[in-house]
Chains A and B, each alone.
Chain A
Amino acid sequence: MRRNVAGLVVVFVGAAVMQLAISNTYLRYVKPGMRWMLLAAGAILIVLAVADVLADTRKKPGEHQADDGHGHGHLLPRAAWLLVIPIFALLVVDPPALGADAAQRQSPVAAKPAVPKGNSFLGESTAGAAPVPLAVRDYAVWAVWEKESMKGRNFQLTGFVTPGKNGTWYVSRIGLTCCVADGTAFMVEARGQTAPPKNQWVTVTGEWAEPTKRADGDVAALTVTGVQNVTPPANQYE
């Protein structure tokens, strides 16, 4: 790869990384905390490429020849062309945040937490109280492992629709720790309503229901009384 072409590819990579961070598109791929790192990385790449091209241009032709003797210029690695592929994927495929397809590849069973997160804030009030909005990842765990405190209560969950087998469907969210490679699906079986289209974002309200038994564990469930279509949040992960 020629040096100026290399500079161009690096500028494009840097610009793509910065654009992701500025436009919030990065939230589809990594956790929010990585924003400043992406901005810094993109800026460093652009500065590097511009500095390199400028320095290369400033040289007189004679110096350029001597410079090649040291091995850069035409010796820049061919592997660098591969860097164009993720840019291609970003620009052309425009990969969405992980959704129902990724969730369907995982089990809807919520693992027992090592140290359970407390849900004592739910308090004592029960019947007739307004639905409590909860994160899907919290409900999916509590509905199975903290049954007693959840019984008879109304909850409100927001997530995307993942179709299951035989007409069942799940309100689901993907949890991220670092990037999409470690995305974990949290799924709550929605009972009593027909399934909205796959990947539709919904806010459901309903009452806790007895978890569904499966061979690999129990799946959280909710007897849904109200389904409302909503627009996806800026950060689709929990």
Chain B
Amino acid sequence: MSTPADSAEATGERDSAAATADPDAPVGPPPAPSTEPEPPAEKEPAGSSIAFTLTLVLLVALALFGRRIFSGLFTDDGVRTWATMFVGVTVQAMPFLVLGVLLSAALTAFVPPSFFAKALPKHPALAVPVASASGVILPGCECASVPVSAALMNRGVTPAAAIAFLLSAPAINPVVLASTAVAFPGQPKVVVARLICSLAVSMVLGWLWLLTGKGSSWLKMPKNRHAEGTAKLEVFRSSMLHDFLHAGGFLVVGAAAAATLNVVVPRSWLDHVASNLLLSVLVLGVLAVLLAICSEADAFVAASLTQFSLTARLAFMVVGPVVDVKLIALQTGTFGPKFAVRFAPATFVVAILFSLLVGWWLL
């Protein structure tokens, strides 16, 4: 089989690049001239490539016969529960991911870098609190904030401020605060504690980046993929497609991890640690990382963990939106693994410390 390719695609450079980037692409000699000669009027250069056809056939075949071919293979109850969790986490995150990549593509394409230069204080240390506070405007869960903060870095916002926004947006937006108030009726101090704690965590990590991360190479700066002069709509479209595919792929990894932990970790082990304050704060922090519950729903889960103190439940709600398995996967994809291995533990430690502090002060 050969790749029916047009004259432009048949260049050696294009083909080798495609082969490394695409596992399904035929590796080997440059494609022979097309076996199905296209009429000269046909202007679909890529529409008939072999990878396209194979993918299409595979997906359609799965849709039509998948259930019959694999029937009997996935009947185990545990496997089916896992599949439900996996699909559930992915489906739930999908609208927020689409919102996130839509906003990030709009930022990249339509908002000039000069806007952020004017909107944020010149000094990075002052830009951090402003960015933290502006997290209030993005009403989504954590999946939406990763592509948006990558776009902010892309537009010349200092990484410290973008990090502060990344951490605060999923925790302090109005939807999350409202659902927290509903989950803890008659206890407005929980909402206040969550707001203060999450703001503090995001600012501290922004400043921590200024102190330690500046100039180091482990943050993979999101590339500005589009040279000047490209049409804005074209930039919007292709960066949205790119961001969606990239973040979507990593979201799937995160959803698989969350589903596995949800099924494997029995919730009964929680009951043995509820009495010790320090231990219970740590345990609920770890639980928040493992379960990867959407920040708009985590307050309800926290409210149901009645055997724990309010401080421990605050830790659950502060840690969840800033670090969990789904987010770690997304951050690894967007900012690089070297960043994620440092950032996730640092965030976890700071979030736990502030939960203890704010819990001791307010709750």
Bitwise, B240-266 to A at CB < 8 A (1) or not (0) is 111011101110110110110011001
A106 contacts the other chain (CB 8 A): yes
A213 contacts the other chain (CB 8 A): no
B227 touches A8 (CB 8 A): no
Stretch at the interface among B94-102, B163-171, B193-201: B94-102
Q: Please give me the residue from chain A that is nearest to B241 by CB atom.
A: A52
B39 contacts the other chain (CB 8 A): no
- The secondary structure that dominates the B interface is helix
Within 8 A of A (CB), among B246-292: 246, 248-250, 252-253, 255-256, 258-259, 262-263, 266-268, 271, 291-292
Q: Closest Cβ of chain A: how far from B185's Cβ, in Å?
A: 5
B120 contacts the other chain (CB 8 A): no
Taking a contact as CB atoms closer than 8 A, the residue among B7, B55, B293 that contacts A61 in the complex is B7
Q: Which residues of B contact A30 (CB under 8 A)?
A: 88, 91-92
Known A29-B91, A74-B14, A89-B83; contact A83-B249, beta-carbon cutoff 8 A: yes
Known A86-B255, A87-B59, A95-B84; contact A101-B77, beta-carbon cutoff 8 A: yes
Taking a contact as CB atoms closer than 8 A, the residue among B55, B249, B294 that contacts A79 in the complex is B249
Q: Please give me the residue from chain A that is nearest to B250 by CB atom.
A: A79
Q: Which residues of B contact A165 (CB under 8 A)?
A: none
* Alpha-carbon distance between A166 and B47 when the two chains are bound, in angstroms: 62
A151 contacts the other chain (CB 8 A): no
- The secondary structure that dominates the A interface is helix
B242 touches A77 (CB 8 A): yes
A119 contacts the other chain (CB 8 A): no
Number of residue pairs A-B, CB distance < 8 angstroms: 266
B293 touches A101 (CB 8 A): no
Q: Which residues of B contact A28 (CB under 8 A)?
A: 84, 88
Q: Total interface residues on B, using CB and 8 Å?
A: 100
B242 touches A68 (CB 8 A): no
Q: Total interface residues on A, using CB and 8 Å?
A: 88
Within 8 A of A (CB), among B1-54: 6-9, 11, 14, 17-18, 21-25, 43-47, 49, 51-52
Bitwise, A54-74 to B at CB < 8 A (1) or not (0) is 011111111011001011111
Q: Please give me the residue from chain A that is nearest to B182 by CB atom.
A: A177
Q: Closest Cβ of chain B: how far from A1's Cβ, in Å?
A: 5
Q: Which residues of A contact B80 (CB under 8 A)?
A: 93, 95-96, 101
Known A12-B59, A29-B91, A179-B92; contact A77-B98, beta-carbon cutoff 8 A: no
* Alpha-carbon distance between A9 and B92 when the two chains are bound, in angstroms: 19
Q: Please give me the residue from chain B that is nearest to A97 by CB atom.
A: B84
A4 touches B250 (CB 8 A): no
A8 touches B186 (CB 8 A): no
Q: Which residues of B contact A122 (CB under 8 A)?
A: none
A10 contacts the other chain (CB 8 A): yes
Q: Please give me the residue from chain B that is nearest to A91 by CB atom.
A: B66
B87 contacts the other chain (CB 8 A): yes
* Alpha-carbon distance between A154 and B309 when the two chains are bound, in angstroms: 36
Stretch at the interface among B151-159, B211-219, B230-238, B347-355: B230-238
Q: Please give me the residue from chain A that is nearest to B56 by CB atom.
A: A8
A129 contacts the other chain (CB 8 A): no
Taking a contact as CB atoms closer than 8 A, the residue among A2, A58, A95 that contacts B18 in the complex is A2
Q: Please give me the residue from chain B that is nearest to A111 by CB atom.
A: B306
Taking a contact as CB atoms closer than 8 A, the residue among A58, A71, A74 that contacts B43 in the complex is A58
Stretch at the interface among A41-49, A187-195, A202-210, A224-232: A41-49
Name 20 extra pairs, CB < 8 A, besides A29-B88, A48-B244, A93-B70: A1-B22, A2-B25, A5-B22, A17-B91, A29-B84, A29-B91, A38-B95, A57-B46, A60-B43, A61-B8, A71-B225, A79-B333, A89-B83, A92-B62, A93-B79, A94-B67, A101-B77, A179-B294, A182-B294, A184-B304
The 23 sampled A-B contact pairs (Cβ below 8 Å) are: A4-B49, A29-B91, A29-B92, A37-B95, A41-B98, A48-B240, A52-B238, A58-B43, A64-B9, A74-B14, A77-B242, A82-B250, A86-B255, A92-B70, A93-B70, A93-B80, A107-B271, A112-B306, A179-B297, A180-B89, A181-B292, A181-B293, A182-B298
